[in-house]
Amino acid sequence: MRAPPRTSRVCARRDPARLASRRGHTPEARRTARLGAPEEDHMSLDGKVAIVAGASRGIGADIARHLAAAGAKTAVAARTETVQDPRLPGTIHSVAQAIADDGGTALPVVLNLRDAESIMACAQTVMDEWGRIDILVNNAAIFIPGTIESARERHIHLSLEVNYIGYIMMMRAVIPHMREGGGGHIINISSRGAIPPGPGPYGDEVRRGGDLLYGGIKAGLEHFSQSQAVELQDDNIAVNVLSPESGYRTPGLIFAGNDPENPDLNFEAADPMGEATVWVCEQEPSGYTGNILYDRSVLAGA
């Protein structure tokens, strides 16, 4: 096969953004052409049952609130039952209560993504309460700063267990129930960090590290999600990936630099993530699956 012109190869090496665009890794390039589905194809979420993993605060809590406001019975699943650190306010009980105060239906459920028994118990608790599972949003995450050399070995394993293996195990727990109920939606929350930097040489903004381990795991999650979309298509179960197009000022994002003695509690609501999640779940699973999506791009095309 003939090699491409030398000039194009040089441009790609020196401009990772251009390379990302050519490979379909920018939010704009990866946005699916199916975003403008006709309004009449949208499904109602009234009576649907959703589990949001990692919903005690931040993006997960906002997604849970939006799903409940759209009519879904929502399981607020996470580890946090009581506030242990003033920098991380919010519990499964406070989020569920906020949903109830707004007229929605919510169930606080304890969930530890590192514990297979806890994962299975979460799914069973929801089945016992509401008899079905239609939606799973995998949002729980842990961010380990540093490089693979500076990060502790146990933190590397922790990141894999929560950010990747935990998502897989949650899917395993709910898929049989979704299949029995005739289908459903699985949304795995990812990050712009999953976009690869492309070939070097690199500038300081790439080389300084900090999110490369996290981003690499999220990239693997995106590949896995699309593979599952293929496997589950005949079961009418959609698997999509949704990422924030820009960072939100959430408790987790500013945790490391937040003063525990005088914490900054001026957080930013991730409403676009909640709205985009609802929109995706309103689509027919058989026709809207395998997409890598960004919240604001979804809303712009909806």
Give the residue numbers annotated as catalytic, written as ranges. Answer: 214
Those residues with Cβ within 8 angstroms of residue 32's Cβ, 6 or more apart along the chain or in another chain: 291, 293
Q: CA–CA separation, 228 vs 168, rounded Å?
A: 10
Rounded to 10 degrees, what is the CA torsion of 237, 278, 72, 118?
Answer: 60
Residue whose tokens read 């791009």: 297
Whether 116 contacts 166, CB under 8 Å: no
Q: CA–CA separation, 42 vs 199, rounded Å?
A: 41
The two structure tokens encoding residue 28: 């704009």
CA distances from 220 to 134, 141, 199, 245, 280 (A): 25, 14, 18, 19, 21
Q: CA–CA separation, 12 vs 189, rounded Å?
A: 29
Neighbours of 268 (CB within 10 A): 13
